[in-house]
Chains A and B, each alone.
Chain A
């Protein structure tokens, strides 16, 4: 099976000598094509730092990262921009939709940036809008739609360019439980049907239970790994909760 992410001995330091803070230490992660991986951990564990590094908007202090066969440590700013545009899709907690663009335009933005022909753009946006159930709001502006709809638009934008890896940063963080379930099911479907590779950072055990595999980080180190395998989502949810309580500090984060 094709490996989408290979991270070896990733280390990230903040601050300077004497006042050094090690945010990540000896992180080794491999993610295969078609996986849906969750990353959990208490606040300050280094989840967001890790995601930023995979997103190529931050660089590790040392270590090797290969995403979709590309050594991202060797690329310069321009190449990284192109790489993000062509290979990565992003879903953020606060949606990050552009309020000057309609829903339709927000979704097609990555395609427009990649200069995909206009006919092709229309076809792909329609298809995705249908699968996320946002066809009726395509011509609305972001400030006219609900949070759940916004996050589905953001998800549509993330996958419209068929990225090799979708990175989701607390995608359900600002949603009510119904909208959250809705979004997670969409992501899960996307993963199953289109075998999209998704890496999701969350501190919500319920959200994590939709993943096929969950990694736990604590104090900048990989702490534990859970596989869903053939378990039901409910059973897996319980496993995640147990893991969190063993981590300590995670308690208050549970639902």
Chain B
């Protein structure tokens, strides 16, 4: 296969992936740090390398509403957002999944005001876990590009018909340059045929979409939506495996486990911090410590089988996340423990919250977490904020 390496940012990798997926219409509204995605796509439409309609909408709410309009006639839609923008469109995010429109959206994970911050954490998308969208969190620019292609294939699968959100950590991923292999268009076209659906308004067979139901029917629609999302786990695994065969890059489906088999301490991660944790794992392994990292790729559907298998290994498990559900704990932690609770043997787990508002999570922070997990001392607290600076009592 001819190599086509490009040195691009995460945002640019997303744009390249979207171009390969050939959406019919892009509805775009800018927000830092997503902007470069919609800028590059505008360039591609202008220079003719992407045959799509580029729609300037006046808000994120309209970006998703327009994307739903596009999908409602059976065309392929793309949009991208971040943070405040994702929350502004929240009504439409739920709407799209209920309507079973397989829209693909890139989200640049960014903190939520107040305090205002343009920097990354994952509170935006995790706040919409219950919106009925498939959510994947990628680790680097290559995975970002590849997932744009996989996303459409999974979302548009007749048994799935569920919108798909690809999450990139703001700045750490969106604005970091990396060498990226750009797949061949012909191969992508074969892998991802044009969208075909009966869930659309058509002139041959007119339909009323996005209707209302009485209490006599509503729950059945929600049940079907739930079953489709659950069933998407198999499709996600199949599509990833097929992608690996065609393009030579395989992402291990729902999760990726690294040196966990014999580990005494495992740290679970989401997104770009995984790379740093992997480096620390190698360093600690070289020092003789039995540690591993478990990357959660999909938050919805949740990787129940994989997390359960991890829980059976008997390691102490830390969950590192850039998120907090105020007054409780990190939501990733809640989801993980919910699966652990189904196991006969209790898994000792602890939540590490860090990186909020773009704060760096350093190798030292991660080393500290592993030492805490390896200490075998009973945990003194369930949730620990790592990398704290000033005294917050003042």
Decide if A and B are genuine partners. no
